[in-house]
Structure 1
Amino acid sequence: MTSSLEEPWPSDWNRASLGLCALQALEAGPTYGYAIITALENAGLGTFKGGTLYPLLTRFETAGWLEVEWRPGANGPGRKYFSLTPAGAEELTKQQHQWLTFTDRTTAFLTESPVAAETATHNHPDTATTPTRVARSKR
């Protein structure tokens, strides 16, 4: 769980990562929405509301990435359990790779000096169409 001293992540970061993290939470097997939210909170990823998660899970079900099963509750109402389909497992693997590549590149960019980043942009074939920084002259 996030510490009270830690600032919350910017909400757009949470929105960007929620889908991937929800798929990851389902990798271990079927679970229900509140358990996914709790797992994300316990991992220090922030606080999520069901009104944000459940529409996402419904979109994933429509995409064929999730199967849904209603299970009776032991001491209360039934719960909707979600599990990954084979297509969902493939999507998780794809998104994991994309996310790790993106965060590696973002981290490299944030930790490079502006001159090194400009040089890397000019010399890297994958970034040939990426706008380059304009060097500022010292006065």
Structure 2
Amino acid sequence: MSRFQLLTDAQWSLIEELLPARTGKKGRPFRDARQMLEGIIYRYRCGIAWRDVPEVFGPWQTIWTWHRRMSAEGTWDLVLARLLATADQAGIIDWSVSVDSTIARAHQHATNITRDTGGWVELHESGERAA
């Protein structure tokens, strides 16, 4: 396996049917879904910008477009649901939940909102408060 092949054949077979497929329409050539998905995974795994995705995965613009469209269509939600269901059936997931009830308080000077403290006020010559 090369360092750019991120999914095993077993992993790919789980989600392959959920991804976009060739429609037969004329236009731009359809990119390989596995290559695009692995480009997206590589980008998130390495924490790099879209422009820095290696050319091995194809043009970064195409990879970004696939990711954007799959997000808008809800494909990522379907993929996550399939993977969670499969992992749960295999007993790989531990569903224990931990709730953290700590409170993070900010210092009183951490705000940028001005407030009337009733302190010093500029007065007019007549002795009235200025607005």
More helix, by proportion: 1
Does TM-score exceed 0.5, indicating one fold?
no
Task: Specify the TM-score bucket, using the shorter chain as the normaliser.
Answer: under 0.3
More strand, by proportion: 1
Structure 2 length-normalised TM? 0.28
Bigger-Rg structure (1/2)? 2
